[in-house]
């Protein structure tokens, strides 16, 4: 946890973790101990089709979780969707069957009080026009550690797909997550910071629904937009990048030593803006896209 300049508390968590309850190599207890030791405040254990309930012990919050998938292993007409349920009050009422749709999964997660995250859209080869038809997605993974090298090629980064979606007017909030399976270097890498008055399932869930979080691998980030300017305050980084629906924008990339304070002037025609801050070790923090110029 850290406190920002206004005294608000930001809690660190990973929303996508597998254990021996499905195809992960550590037990839930071992996974919890590992994340806790690495400074995390909360964790969701999201084994494939195995729901685990919310529990809070000794200052660490385990949010209920489960990962559901629909579609075949090869990219088919129906698409492939992996959807993670976070913090549902009870197990979503779902049975694995052929023909199950992503919207049925999202609906069941919503009815059970869960927050739904679209997992690794780049890995799943999701298309923006298909994501647009989904109802009840709370956030999408802009980065999924396990979809990257050396475990899974180079499909960790979904920002291109999510930018195309945002340019068309559908702004999904961004999370980053490890999707831990092997505990072979993918653990404790990509996470979210959530702003909440206290570390309880209720408070974290409320903040997730209100978009009071950002994705990171290390840098801390605060972004505000007013009077045609985007103001970024961050922990020391070596680059800040502003992404929008414009394919070209002057002043989009700012590089330097230990940047902590950067401003960007919005350009005519921009309909959304988002920020990446990258530190000297190459670790990224991502803001969610925000609508501008309307």
Residues that bind Zn ion (CB under 5 A): 67, 82, 119, 179
- Report, in Å, the least distance between residue 179 CB and Zn ion: 4
For the CB of residue 69, give the shortest distance to Zn ion in the complex, in Å.
6
Nearer to Zn ion, 80 or 165 (CB): 80
DSSP-H helix ranges across the chain: 28-37, 102-111, 128-131, 159-167, 201-210
The nearest distance, CB 72 to Zn ion, in angstroms, is 14
**Residue 152 CB, nearest distance to Zn ion (Å)?**
10
Q: Which is nearer to Zn ion, 179 or 279 (CB)?
A: 179
Minimum distance between the CB of residue 119 and Zn ion, rounded to whole angstroms? 5
Identify the burial level of 78 via C-beta atoms within 10 angstroms of its C-beta, where 0-12 means exposed, 13-18 middle and 19 or more buried.
middle
| Nearest to Zn ion of 32, 67 (CB atom) | 67
Specify the residue, 156 or 232, whose C-beta has the smaller distance to Zn ion. Answer: 156
User: Closest-CB residue for Zn ion?
Assistant: 82
**Which of 135, 210, 199 lies closest to 173 in space, CA to CA?**
210
**DSSP structure class, residue 245:** S
Comparing CB distances to Zn ion, the nearer of 46 and 287 is 46
Rounded distance, CA 15 to CA 177, Å?
6
Q: Rounded to whole angstroms, how far apart are CA atoms 65 and 32? A: 13
């Amino acid at each position: 946890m850290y406190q920002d300049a206004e005294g608000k508390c930001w809690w660190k968590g990973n929303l996508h973790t597998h254990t021996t309850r499905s195809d992960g190599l550590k037990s839930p207890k071992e996974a919890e101990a590992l994340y806790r030791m690495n400074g995390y405040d909360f964790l969701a254990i999201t084994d494939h089709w195995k729901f685990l309930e919310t529990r809070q012990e000794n200052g660490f919050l385990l949010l209920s979780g489960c990962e559901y998938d629909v579609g075949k292993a090869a990219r088919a007409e129906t698409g492939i969707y992996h959807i993670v349920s976070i913090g549902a009050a009870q197990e979503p009422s779902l049975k694995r069957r052929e023909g199950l749709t992503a919207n049925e999964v999202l609906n069941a997660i919503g009815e059970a009080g869960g927050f739904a995250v679209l997992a690794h859209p780049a890995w799943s080869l999701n298309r923006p026009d298909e994501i647009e038809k989904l109802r009840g997605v709370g956030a999408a993974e802009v980065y999924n550690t396990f979809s990257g090298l050396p475990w899974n090629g180079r499909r960790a980064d979904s920002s291109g797909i999510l930018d195309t979606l945002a340019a068309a007017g559908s702004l999904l909030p961004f999370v980053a997550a490890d999707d831990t399976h092997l505990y072979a270097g993918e653990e404790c890498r990509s996470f979210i910071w959530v702003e909440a008055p206290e570390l309880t399932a209720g408070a974290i869930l409320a903040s997730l629904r209100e978009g009071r979080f950002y994705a990171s691998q290390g840098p801390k980030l605060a972004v505000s937009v007013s009077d045609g300017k985007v103001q970024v305050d961050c922990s020391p980084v070596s680059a800040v990048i502003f992404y929008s629906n414009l394919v070209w924008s002057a002043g989009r990339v700012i590089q330097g030593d230990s940047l902590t304070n950067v401003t960007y002037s919005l350009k005519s025609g921009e309909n959304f803006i988002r920020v990446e801050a990258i530190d000297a070790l190459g670790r990224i923090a991502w803001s969610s896209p925000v609508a501008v110029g309307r």
